[in-house]
């Protein structure tokens, strides 16, 4: 038995996951601090933020990720998404500080689930209205000056989004693992809803094609 091969097979998805994260780190920071669109990554081709790597590498990166997902049957949220990996890193830090789980009451969970669908609906509305740009980013040759100018030029919408992202990351670090993924991320919600839909269709088809055999016990009464 080749133990090196077995180890590599086991570690390969994790290595790739954190590799995706490292490669995307600059984009994550720039999207949080500079992306002028309500939904990032949709309008990169015409985006004025020329220092964001997504402007140039989004298409090949997405093609690579889709290929990787198909070949290795990798789940996007748990094995690829760089922002999900950031949430995982924060959770790992939290586990180092305290292993005690934080329990949410049923009421809080219901409110947070409502919040999740609220963000999802808001994202759909934003896309429906052409994914508006909510501030005009000014570009200078120095990234720090560009960030300072974004801070000065942006209005309430910019700060609202920044506070939601940073707040969710902090909650993920301090209390609830993957808070952003579980209760805010509209992309995560759409992936979840799609998966649920596919499962539902599969179940309906399975029930429709169910024969009259007695293997599962469903027809036991019929034959007794
Ligand atoms: S290129 Fe522009 S739109 Fe695309 S993610 Fe970066 S900042 Fe956002
Ligand atoms: S829920 Fe959103 S941020 Fe989290 S892993 Fe999925 S797509 Fe990424």
Nearest CA owner, ligand 2 atom 7: 188
Q: Tell me the CA–centroid distance for residue 4 and ligand 2, in Å.
A: 31
CA distance linking residue 163 with residue 148, whole number of Å: 17
Nearest to 185 by CA among 114, 120, 89, 125: 120
What pLDDT, on a 0 to 100 scale, did the predictor assign at position 215? 64
Q: What's the chain's average pLDDT?
A: 87
Q: Which residue has the higher pLDDT, 155 or 169?
A: 169
Q: Tell me the CA–centroid distance for residue 188 and ligand 2, in Å.
A: 5
Q: Tell me the CA–centroid distance for residue 94 and ligand 1, in Å.
A: 30
What pLDDT, on a 0 to 100 scale, did the predictor assign at position 216? 63
What is the band of 109 on the pLDDT scale with cuts at 50, 70, 90?
Answer: very high
Q: How many residues does the chain have?
A: 224
- With the most atoms of ligand 1 within 8 angstroms of its CB, the residue from 35, 56, 135, 154 to mutate is 35
Q: Tell me the CA–centroid distance for residue 49 and ligand 1, in Å.
A: 6
Q: Which residue has the higher pLDDT, 3 or 26?
A: 26
- With the most atoms of ligand 2 within 8 angstroms of its CB, the residue from 69, 81, 179 to mutate is 81
What is the band of 141 on the pLDDT scale with cuts at 50, 70, 90?
Answer: confident
What pLDDT, on a 0 to 100 scale, did the predictor assign at position 190? 95
CA distance linking residue 39 with residue 187, whole number of Å: 10
CB neighbours (10 Å) of residue 94? 18
Q: Tell me the CA–centroid distance for residue 84 and ligand 2, in Å.
A: 5
Cβ burial 21-60 (10 Å sphere, 16+ → b, else e): beebeebbebbebbbbbbbbbebbeebebebbbbbeebee
Nearest to 39 by CA among 146, 174, 176, 189: 189
For ligand 2, residues with CB inside 6 Å are 77, 81, 83-84, 180-181, 185, 187-188
CA angle 160, 165, 100 (to 5 degrees): 135
- List CB contacts of 100: < 8 A, sequence separation 6 or more: none
What pLDDT, on a 0 to 100 scale, did the predictor assign at position 84? 95
pLDDT in tens, 14-43: 999 999 999 999 999 999 988 999 999 999
pLDDT in tens, 35-81: 999 999 999 999 988 889 999 999 999 999 999 999 999 999 999 99
From the CA of 51, the nearest ligand is: 1
Half-sphere exposure of 28 (CA within 13 A, CB side): 16
pLDDT in tens, 163-198: 999 999 999 888 888 999 999 999 999 999 999 999
What pLDDT, on a 0 to 100 scale, did the predictor assign at position 42? 93
């Amino acid at each position: 038995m080749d133990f090196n091969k077995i180890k590599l097979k086991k570690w390969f998805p994790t290595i790739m996951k954190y590799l995706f994260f490292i490669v995307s780190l600059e984009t994550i920071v720039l999207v949080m601090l500079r992306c002028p669109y309500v939904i990032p990554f949709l309008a990169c081709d015409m985006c004025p933020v020329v220092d964001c790597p997504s402007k140039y590498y989004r298409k090949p990166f997405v093609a690579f990720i889709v290929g990787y997902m198909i070949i290795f049957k990798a789940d996007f949220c748990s094995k690829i998404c760089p922002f999900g990996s950031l949430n995982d890193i924060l959770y790992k830090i939290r586990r180092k500080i305290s292993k005690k789980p934080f329990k949410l009451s049923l009421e809080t969970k219901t409110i947070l689930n409502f919040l999740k669908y609220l963000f999802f609906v808001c994202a759909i509305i934003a896309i429906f209205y052409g994914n508006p740009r909510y501030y005009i980013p000014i570009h200078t040759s120095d990234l720090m000056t560009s960030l300072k100018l974004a801070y000065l030029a942006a209005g309430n919408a910019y700060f609202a989004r920044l506070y939601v992202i940073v707040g969710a990351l902090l909650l993920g670090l301090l209390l609830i693992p993957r808070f952003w993924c579980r209760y805010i991320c509209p992309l995560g919600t759409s992936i979840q809803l799609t998966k649920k839909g596919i499962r539902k269709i599969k179940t309906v088809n399975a029930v429709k094609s169910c024969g009259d055999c007695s293997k599962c016990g469903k027809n036991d009464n019929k034959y007794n």
